[in-house]
Chain A
Amino acid sequence: MRTELELFGVHTSFTSRARRRWLVAVVYAGFVAYLTASWFVDRWGFSTMIWIPFLMGVPALIFARLTGRYRSKRILWRTKAPPKSWLGRFLFPEDADLRDVPGERELRWRDQAHFWSYHVLNLGILWVWILIFQQRQTQIHDWAWPELAVRHPWITDNLLFGVAAILLFAALTLPDSIILWFMPDLEEKQ
């Protein structure tokens, strides 16, 4: 795991767990606040949800950068540092050492974080599937037994896109958040 983050040329130390927890809390609170606000603005319509890929991508990139989760893959596939994209040069001006191989303990943390995230995601996916199943059942009842139809007018395409976005955000950030949240202060380790 990296001890500091270089963002727009500014170095910020993340050795303290408290600071990492603040980052995680701010990112999640910000995402929830944006979703809540956009629900009231246009019920998760096009004008507000167009920004969702950006709002999901940037925190996921920053979290992954801090935990260094993609290092081993780069080592496997490349012998030297890859050429940077325009966005990469803009976001992370000074690249860290890509040959920094994750240790056994770090891999253990990573796998455990994915195990717990998997079960959280499992519950989320099951819930979304039940939601869509309800919607489809309504359609069947409408067609076959209109008198028995249980109407769910609140299940709209926009709502389904919103929950899909929440699922994707969770899938992209949850393992890294768990690592950032539970990894002890890095000074203590040394």
Chain B
Amino acid sequence: MASRPSTRVVADLPLTPPTGMRDHLPEAARVRASLASRLLGLFQRYGYERVMTPAFEYADVLERGLELDRRDVLRFVEPETGEVALLRPDITPQIARIVATRLSDRPAPWRLCYHGTMLRRRRGRARKSRALSQAGVECVGFGGLGADLEVIGLAAEACALVGLPGVRVELGQVGLGRLLLAEVPEAARAPVAEALASKDAHALEARLREAKVPARQRRRVLGLVDLYGERPVLGRARRRYKDAESRAALDELARVWDGLAERGLEPQLGVDLGELRGHAYYTGVSFALLAEGPGEPLGGGGRYDRLLGRFGRPAPATGFGLDVGHVLWALEAAGRPWRPSRPLRLAELGAPAELVAGLRDAGVEVAALPESVGDRALGFARAWGYDGVLGAGELRRASDGKRRALEDGVGGVLALRDWLAEAHAPKGAKG
């Protein structure tokens, strides 16, 4: 009875968080935090400085960067000012605002990184509202090929670093799609773009016919629907779209492809010229990171050269974000679940204060137990994932309760680390 969580709660009080919101209990939280910190560490080694941005902002600010469907964001009236605010569905526009306003006196380029929660709702979908934990970078004020290669290369390196070396990097070029959509009457653009994004040739043709788009333009738009795959797609696209603007967009993409190939990334590259979704602020080469598991991209990014201008300080920019939850899911699917490097963890009952302090200084996690715990210390250690119980003059192993006498202070405890871990190892495993 006593060990059971109480289920006697007021029946009409919802104790679970709203749909899509999630708790992460200690073990899961440790895994997520460790993965995110590994990612941020890599970003920082490339000079991306971490920033933190507010959980909600005035709708007017965020909507400058996003062409959002108003039903997809969580909006409320901020009582101080009476202005409409929204819980951030994306961090990139916030960083654009920071660069354009508060960091504008520092010299370019601005390299910033972040890790935070974003909220998105998706009506009617199988996956509805979700809180995404996203880690990413934004590289502002550094235009052209160099920045594209740095950012896409960094995204691939981040995936490889955490155990997904073969992640597929699917390049896109929103420029081409935009050019072609501009040839469609404005009223029909949204349904045409939707059909194109779904690669739904049948619906696309129907929408174009309904909008009375002339046959030539119709063929041009329909031509995008199957332009995805490997490098030859770029050649096919060049033969299909010969006007100067389309050519320029395709050349830009080809240069990025070749640059990434030079860095040895070619086996991971793919291209999809019909990909337009979720790309409201992108202006050039974009990319998505694909791996088995979550059934949707792990993350992605691209060039957004016009966003900073909307905050009053035009500058070229590119960046990407990774969904931490999806990366964990993909690692699981690949049979390489993320295991955070874990310090030695001890529960303590009656050990000398000096020893405890020394262990903490040495990086050991030591949780002091109240005396009343008494005989139940071992049970506590097991339930909370401690390696052992540190008592007065002895250390008990959590897994099987075996005792070792303690000598030599901190060094003596640390020397027992392998003995503590021994019983965790699967039978027959060595080392």
A and B associate:
no
